[in-house]
Structure 1
């Protein structure tokens, strides 16, 4: 007999504050790349070749600066406030997004694989991502940017529980 997962409620855990530093760094990289591309287009494309009209020469940088300020000083803090995760006895679930929220729940009995991955920037900040896979294309849960030790313990625990659940089902 399969036990239904506990009712969905607000997940208990937020990400470590070092995730904010990671997101700020990612945003700064994006801002620099955008500034280089936009700057090159505004400076080097002559008007007789379809270059920007005078209005765009000042409007585009203003919009780019506003977007950069939001990307670096607002978005990482909002992400940290709204991203939540939890591993219960019966399920793994996450909630992401602030304007459009996504809840993803995977029962432990459906887990097939648990991976821990660390991108280059994650390694610099001591973070890792736990990915919990099921046979369903819609059932993958990713717990982003956990402290590396926490991520490893969560993955080990989930893999052991999923194995016990499979053993009990056979």
Structure 2
């Protein structure tokens, strides 16, 4: 078994394009919820002079800005940033849109591999591959893959991890 360090590089595969639609949907839902809260604030906070009156109109403006970012900006930025790759030696992920997190999990550290599908993911035909390791990082996730791709990736990782364990014994 080789002890050479794994290459440090960005993963090459993008998530499913359906992830954009999922994130847009989540942004719309969040904007509607915040919009209802802002409407309640505007309707039920007493009018008056000063900061309270300014807040009555600032809150909806902030919610509108949030909606633009959550629906039109964030999903596309996340799609451009999020990447994943599975090689014979490691699972690579790159996530985040404001704070980027690059993760490398050696195949030899893989304990279990799961495929999960949340309610919203099911609507878009997507799944998440969760790779559980013995490290302090815990579980590394490759989110929003098409279901058949997620199953093949999980199968590949688990087979490769088994091969590595067999080679070590």
TM-score after normalising by structure 1: 0.92
Contact 1:15 1:145 in 2 (8 A): yes
User: Pairwise mapping of residues 58-137 of structure 1 onto structure 2 (< 5 A)?
Assistant: 58-137=57-136
Equivalent in the alignment of 2:53: 54
- 2:143 counterpart SS class: strand
> Counterpart of 1:61 in 2: which secondary structure?
helix
1:96-149 per-position Cα deviation (integer Å, ceiling 9, x unaligned): 123322111100111000010000110010000001111112153210100000
Q: Which runs of 5+ in 2 are unaligned?
A: none
> Structure 1: which 4+ aligned runs deviate by more than 4 Å?
none
Q: CA RMSD in A?
A: 1.6
Deviates more, 1:61-70 or 1:134-143: 134-143
Larger deviation, residues 104-113 vs 30-39? 30-39
2:21 equivalent in structure 1: 21
Matched, 1:163 2:162: yes
User: Does the 8 Å contact 1:105/1:139 carry over to 2?
Assistant: no
- C-alpha distance in 2, partners of 1:140/1:62? 38
